[in-house]
Structure 1
């Protein structure tokens, strides 16, 4: 039997800031009644909610952690709460819940239980990078995080380059910010000089910068991406 409660998917910027151009006011009004949240990072979520919903007393809210911090007992209490008709919101550590983060398992369970699932408008760097890259936005593949080991990562990069050239599909991937420079170095060593690479850094932040250039041009002027959120795209123009 379907459950009448609703699970709201709440986007969040990677730095925990809030601006009305990131999450529109109309969207925050839709979730002003929420007092139950499923979060990836408790500290980040509490800080973000204080800015997103300043009228809500955060200490009166109930938080359930997902991902590596989740426990079966905690999630069981969440589903029991929602079965009673209480709405809840999902907040990832950055970006869109369910996209390259553990929120997907929570959403899957909500569907299995017959709950209504509502995604809110907000910062989603993967799609914003694709929009601004100049690459094929009709056909693309998102690969998440590439292998950490140098040889495996270089092999994967060459595979993505080959797929982009052969199929025309844009290849999208990312890395943990403190490993960005190592990944970029491997890209510049592994790809052909004419291959096109888009580096989309700090999307929706004050120092946002998105550029699409050939590997040859990036080799002439290589940016420092250390500890900066970045989306990488390989494609054709």
Structure 2
């Protein structure tokens, strides 16, 4: 096994790992003892799901999350890797480093010319584009939009303008408990003919992916569940 910083995907929700992860991933992860994680609890739960005998007590876990100080000194974060030991990056769900704090670890690895190897796994952003019917050759992931009323609507309008001017699919996300407010803002702001795809709970038992025009969504009066969701708009 090559010494590297492995980017380790994990299932989204309660999905069985066999449905979304190749067995090759498990073989790689079993040989790693140093992990950079979004949360230790979630990482341990994932590792034990791969192998009930996983030697958790022999592992080191360094948390790198949204709560980590942006100015924190992370220069020693990859010391095991610099000494020739493989390390792994694990997010709480899906692929790490996409809208995820783990990207800071990869940035350091690239600057130090250390090997980075992404493993195959579920990515809700790409899967949402696949299932939306929107332009998959020109798209932009915008992460979280502003939370404040007015600012959020202004950003949505800006993204909608890009859809029409650049023929570009626009994707963004929201904290699950604010899904409904985001939907209401989109319906209030966008043109009736603009298309909106709601992609929620991808690969889980609650999966819901549907595309309609804004005008059609307004007739639905849908109540969104508080689960991870990708919002996509296109023409």
Query: How would you bin the TM-score normalised by the shorter chain?
Result: over 0.9
1:13 CA drift (Å): 3.0
Match of 2:175 in 1: 176
Q: How many residues align?
A: 232
Q: 1:165 to 1:68 in 2, by over 3 A?
A: closer
Contact 2:39 2:63 in 1 (8 A): yes
Contact 1:6 1:117 in 2 (8 A): yes
Match of 1:13 in 2: 11
1:83 CA drift (Å): 1.6
1:70 CA drift (Å): 4.6
1:12-67 deviations in whole A, cap 9, x for unaligned?
23436542121111222222201111001111111111102334122221111113
Give the secondary structure class of the aligned counterpart of 1:59: helix
Matches within 5 A, 1:11-160: 11-15=9-13, 17-70=15-68, 75=74, 77-160=76-159
The separation in 2 between residues aligned to 1:17 and 1:171, in whole angstroms, is 27
1:123 CA drift (Å): 1.2
Matches within 5 A, 1:157-168: 157-168=156-167
TM-score norm. by structure 2 comes to 0.92
The separation in 1 between residues aligned to 2:109 and 2:160, in whole angstroms, is 37
Q: 1:44 to 1:16 in 2, by over 3 A?
A: farther
The separation in 2 between residues aligned to 1:16 and 1:46, in whole angstroms, is 15
Provide structure 2 residue ranges, at least 5 long, that are not aligned to the other structure: none
Q: 1:37 to 1:15 in 2, by over 3 A?
A: same
- Which aligned segments of 4 or more residues in structure 1 are displaced greater than 6 angstroms? none
Contact 2:77 2:105 in 1 (8 A): no
RMSD: 1.8
The separation in 2 between residues aligned to 1:16 and 1:104, in whole angstroms, is 24
Provide structure 1 residue ranges, at least 5 long, that are not aligned to the other structure: none
The separation in 1 between residues aligned to 2:93 and 2:147, in whole angstroms, is 21
The separation in 2 between residues aligned to 1:95 and 1:150, in whole angstroms, is 30
Contact 2:14 2:204 in 1 (8 A): no
Give the secondary structure class of the aligned counterpart of 1:142: strand
